[in-house]
Structure formats: structure tokens, C-alpha cells
Amino acid sequence: MAVKEKELSRRRFIKSAGATLAVTALSAGVGGLLTGCSKPEEETTGGANGQTVEVTWPLGYKPLNPDKAEEMAYNSYKAGNGCAQGVADALLGLAAEEYGAPYSYIPPQMFNVGKGGIVGWGASCGALLGAVFFIGLVAPQEDQAAIVNELMAWYQQASFPYYKPSDMEFKQTVADSTLCHVSVTRFLQENNLEANAPEKAERCGGLSGDVARKTVELLNAYVDNQFTAVHKPQGAETCTTCHSNDHQGKDNCVTCHGEVDEIHDF
Ligand code: HEC
Ligand code: HEC
């Protein structure tokens, strides 16, 4: 029974992969994957062309150009696609451009909902969502956590944005958190800006570029057997000596709870 179900879902996937192949060809004709401007009607009328393709996970990673990834993510963000799709456009889009299938079967548009920490909820930074699911797509499970941990800890401590292609002026800020809410709000506070300020879009576009670049650098090192973790989560150690088992999370405790002596009498 279980086997039969597996068969079925695999067949369904293969069928839709065939449909996507047609889609990719079509949307490439109207400006490629990066623009994200292929219309849903075109996607559905692409139709199955009878081709079937074996897709096995993990897809495997082939080296990408970090400069290109950075620029593609920024441009996609600035085109209105948000941070999560911006990063996915850079990673999946670049992999598709360089290596074609199977990367080209996955529409980066699926990540659009990640923007604003999942459609504005301020949860995980959407740029990280675009990145970590790509890592989950290309790297085997036993190696994912190390790469993702490094990316998350780096993000927590990074002074965003490093990529600043415009001449807009604002301070780079350290989020001390992987949450969109904290990351963006700190930036706004320290720059005395409102959330709809053009500087905010410039910052999150640049940050998307930064996260895409970092992800490519980490994965390039990983496939080259050069990956080493150099970042550790900060702001949790002082708490987890005692609080080891009563919460979930690795992010900086102090950003929400305050310093030890603000919470405790000891
Ligand atoms: C020396 C051990 C120790 C350290 C270090 C420590 N805690 Fe605690 N924490 C405790 C104990 C003990 C309690 C009380 C538990 C209880 O009463 O249920 C507590 C309670 C709390 C509570 C619940 C407070 C409440 O009102 O119920 C929070 C939140 C908390 N700690 C957060 C933190 C954070 C954040 C840090 C690091 C900045 C931290 N703790 C560091 C031992 C510690
Ligand atoms: C994004 C904000 C945020 C971060 C980061 C965070 N917490 Fe919390 N934590 C909360 C909230 C909100 C609650 C629920 C508080 C409540 O119900 O009063 C909570 C509850 C707790 C409690 C339970 C308090 C109780 O009443 O029993 C402990 C212990 C705790 N956190 C420890 C930590 C530790 C340790 C870290 C760092 C690894 C951490 N928290 C990181 C927001 C955060």
C-alpha cells in the first residue's frame, strides 16, 4: 500500500516536472527566470509535452558565481519579488541558467510568500527562507544543518547590507536575530526611518544579495570540501547554561528577554 502511494506521488511529480519543462522554455522567451514576470496563464497553458524526467533528491550542487547571485537577488527584489523569491531567483535561477534541468523545473515564484518574514508576519527573514530551502534541495540531509547553522549565525551577526549598489545613504545594522521583525525594525530604528521608506527597500534588496552571495560561497566551499563553520550563535550561551530544556531556539535570547540581570535576581 505504502509502496503504491509512493509510486503514485512520484508519477504525479514526474508529470508536473514535464509540464514545468514546457513552462521554463516559455518563460525564458519572455525574459527568463529572473524577471519573475511569466504570467500564470502561460504557465498553465504550457501543458505536458509527453516528456518525463527522473528527479532524485538531493539535486546536488554545482558551483555558482557569487557576484552574479548577489546581483540577481538584488535585482529581483528591486523588481518587486521580495527577499525570499529574490534569493530563490538568484540560486535556482542562476543554477537553471548555468546547468538547466533539474534546477529549471522549480519555479522560484513559490518563494514569494516568504517576503516580509512570511507575507509580512516578521517571522524568519525571508531571504534566509530562499537560501535554506535551496540548501535543503541540493545538499544531503547529513550535511544540511552544518551549512544552515553557519548561514544563520553569520546572518545574526552580519552588518547588513554589504551590497549597496545605489548611492542612497543609511547606516548598516546588525540584527542580532534571524527574525525579519527584529532585523528590519533595528534597521529602521537606528536609521530613524519608517517601514515604507525607500532606504528600507534598498537595504532588504542589498541584504537579499548578501544572503544569496553567502549561500553560494558556503555551497561552493562545501562541494570543494573546503567548508568550515566559523560562526557560532550569539546571545544564547549565557542563558542555556541553565535553560537547556525549557524552550526551543538558538537565536539571541537577549533581544527579546533582556540581559540576565534584567530578568533574574541572581
Ligand atoms: C544561573 C542559571 C540561570 C541563568 C544563567 C539564566 N536563567 Fe533564566 N531562570 C533560571 C531559573 C532558576 C528560573 C526560574 C525558573 C522557575 O521559576 O520556573 C529562570 C526563569 C527564567 C524565565 C522565566 C521568568 C518568569 O518570569 O517566569 C525566563 C524568561 C528566563 N529565565 C530567561 C533567561 C534568559 C533569557 C537568560 C539569559 C539572558 C537566563 N534566563 C539566564 C535560571 C537561569
Ligand atoms: C523572539 C523573541 C524571543 C527570543 C529570541 C527568545 N525568547 Fe524566550 N520567550 C519569548 C516569549 C514571547 C516567551 C513567552 C513569554 C510568556 O509567555 O510570558 C518566552 C518564554 C521563555 C521561557 C519560559 C518562561 C516561562 O514563563 O516559563 C524561557 C525559559 C525562555 N523564553 C528562555 C529563552 C532562552 C534561553 C532564549 C535564547 C535561547 C530565548 N528564550 C529566546 C520570546 C523569545
- Each residue's pLDDT tens digit, 155-213: 999 999 999 999 999 999 999 999 999 999 999 999 999 999 999 999 999 999 999 99
pLDDT given for residue 184 in this prediction: 98
- 61 CA distance to ligand 2 middle (Å): 37
pLDDT given for residue 48 in this prediction: 55
- 247 CA distance to ligand 2 middle (Å): 7
Q: Which helix (H) or strand (E) holds 159?
A: strand 159-160
Residue bearing the CA closest to ligand 2, atom 15: 257
SS3 content of the chain, % helix, strand, coil (to 5): 60, 0, 40
**What mean pLDDT value characterizes the chain?**
86
Nearest ligand to the CA of 260 is: 1
**Using one digit for the tens of pLDDT, what is the confidence trace for 70-108?**
999 999 999 999 999 999 999 999 999 999 999 999 999
Q: How far apart are CA 232 and CA 229, in angstroms?
A: 8
Helices (H), 100-197: 126-138, 141-157, 180-191
Residue bearing the CA closest to ligand 2, atom 12: 256
Residues with CB under 6 A from ligand 1: 238-239, 241-243, 253-254, 257, 259-260, 263-264
Match 505536458 to its residue by C-alpha cell.
48
Lowest mean pLDDT among 6-10, 70-74, 148-152, 220-224: 6-10
pLDDT given for residue 93 in this prediction: 97
Distance of CA 246 to the CA centre of its chain: 29
With 70 as the cut, is the pLDDT of residue 126 above it? yes
With 50 as the cut, is the pLDDT of residue 32 above it? no
- 75 CA distance to ligand 2 middle (Å): 37
Q: How far apart are CA 243 and CA 94, in angstroms?
A: 42
Q: How confident is residue 266, by pLDDT bands cut at 50, 70 and 90?
A: confident
Q: How far apart are CA 254 and CA 176, in angstroms?
A: 9
Which residues are CB-neighbours of 185 under 8 A, at least 6 positions away?
122
Q: How far apart are CA 149 and CA 72, in angstroms?
A: 24
Lowest mean pLDDT among 10-19, 44-53, 118-127, 171-180: 10-19
With 60 as the cut, is the pLDDT of residue 5 above it? no
Q: Is 196 helix (H, G, I), strand (E, B) or coil?
A: coil
* Alpha-carbon dihedral angle through residues 54, 57, 59, 60, given to the nearest 10 degrees: -130
Task: Give the whole-number percent of the chain exceeding pLDDT 70.
Answer: 81
